[in-house]
Amino acid sequence: MPKSFDYLIVPASLFVVGLSALVASAQVQEYKPIPLMTFGKELEDTLSNKDIPTSQGGFARDYVVNLTAGDQVLIELKSDSFDTIVTLIAANGSTVGENDDGPDGTSNSLLFARIVKSGKYIIRVHAFGDTPAGGLFTLKVTRLHG
């Protein structure tokens, strides 16, 4: 074989290896739920197509909160931009509770939960159905006293 063929193999191989590295790094996204530090205060945020894709075609935004066994929490999620759903998820991935529409007749969400095991919990904010963009919302988590 001519020597020029040998020179083609090396650059082509490096090109393929370089592309593989780019694809691998583009697929790595670290899951980082947003820490929720304050109770009883409204947090204003935005749900967008840059958040976590859901199997329903929409997106979700996760917050992590430390809860203690015996806590009773009230989670309020409100938006004029989309039909809200709030989900409380335990550290083992099980759903503690979920609410789509609250008792006030709107599409806002209201969830009450009693915590039986201390640990980190995820509060997931998402839109009903395949709402592609989401929008502004407020989230409020209140610890209730017995």
Q: Where are the domains of the chain?
A: 34-144
Which residues is 109 bridged to in the sheet? 77
CA distance 100 to 121: 19
CATH dotted code for 34-144: 2.60.120.380
Assigned token pair, 115: 């915590």
Assigned token pair, 140: 């409020």
pLDDT at 7: 52
Sequence-ordered list of residues with C-beta below 8 angstroms from that of 43, at least 6 positions apart, any chain:
36, 138, 139, 140
pLDDT at 116: 95
CA distance 129 to 110: 18
Assigned token pair, 53: 């894709």
pLDDT at 126: 92
CA distance 146 to 72: 8
pLDDT at 29: 65
pLDDT at 25: 46
Phi/psi zone of residue 50: left (φ > 0), alpha (ψ -120 to 50 degrees), beta? alpha
pLDDT at 28: 52
Low-confidence ranges of the chain (pLDDT < 50): 8, 10, 12-17, 19-26
Provide the residue type at 87 as one letter: T
pLDDT at 105: 79
pLDDT at 23: 47
Angle at 85 between CA 135 and CA 44, to 5 degrees: 40
User: What share of the chain in percent tops pLDDT 70?
Assistant: 77
pLDDT at 24: 46
